[in-house]
Amino acid sequence: MPIARTGGTRLSYEEYGTGEPVVMVTGTGAPGRMWRTHQVPALTRAGYRVITLDNRGIPPSDPCPEGFTLHDMAADIAGLIEHLGEGACRIVGYSLGAIAVQELLLARPELVRQAVLMATSGRTDALTAAMTAADMDLADMRLGDSGGKLPPRYTAYVQALQNLSPRTLNDDERLRDWLAVFEMSDLDRSGLRGQLGLQLIPDRLRDYRRINRPCLVIGFRDDLVVRPRLSREVAQSIPGSTYTEIPGCGHYGYLERPAAVNSAITGFFAGRTP
């Protein structure tokens, strides 16, 4: 696995295919391999070289136990792009990764050719603040010395309720498959805890008016973690951006409805309006 050094921080990444580069940035607690099942094959078939990143805090990238900020994450993306030596890249960000990409668009716009921002927001509303505080308390409990680790079946159930759409929750066969995956792939708690607090962002919507790169914002209609109205606000703030909303999926829309998501991404990169 290649390693890039950015400002003293070691970041792991993977490369797939050939062609113009697309850098993909995941959400809270998620490794770069989350893109491999659906997005990497679709983008490589479309003729792109795909680079997936393990954000700081996610092994084997540096854990950074001293803490870090969204600006650090944006600087990491910038450092990776400079490490690749390809000039301005297309970038796909999801959830927390999309918020970090938005900060990159403000700080280093010359490194971005086009950006796709999925399940993103430009401010923290009351529900997001409450959810994040609860998740941080849970992470602290599981990291502490009390040995209070929740049963995998319980965490799988909560993860399904938070991240999947009614369309999937009401399909018994599909839901059983998802629950099995969630039980077997518990997120790394240390990486998750380090990133959770970054979801509590100030209102950045006014600042996004300065973004001057082509952007596609994708909302997921049944998303309970980042409700679509928050993503629409981002699109309304970025001049000239395009917004599309994909029905029948929750926060994991890129996994629930990958064909629709991939079509939106490749169409935007090719100059087609969703």
Give the residue numbers marked as catalytic: 95, 223, 251
The Cα 91–Cα 111 span in angstroms is 10
The token pair that represents 18 in the structure block: 């050939």
The Cα 24–Cα 94 span in angstroms is 8
The Cα 10–Cα 93 span in angstroms is 20
DSSP 91-133: EEEETHHHHHHHHHHHH-GGGEEEEEEES--SS--HHHHHHHH
Beta bridge partners of 215: 115
Number of Cβ within 10 Å of residue 270's Cβ equals 9
- Give which of 77, 121, 113, 125 is closest to 96, Cα–Cα: 121
The Cα 16–Cα 36 span in angstroms is 9
Report the DSSP pairing between strands 9-16 and 242-246.
unpaired
- Give which of 30, 35, 96 is closest to 15, Cα–Cα: 35
The Cα 46–Cα 43 span in angstroms is 5
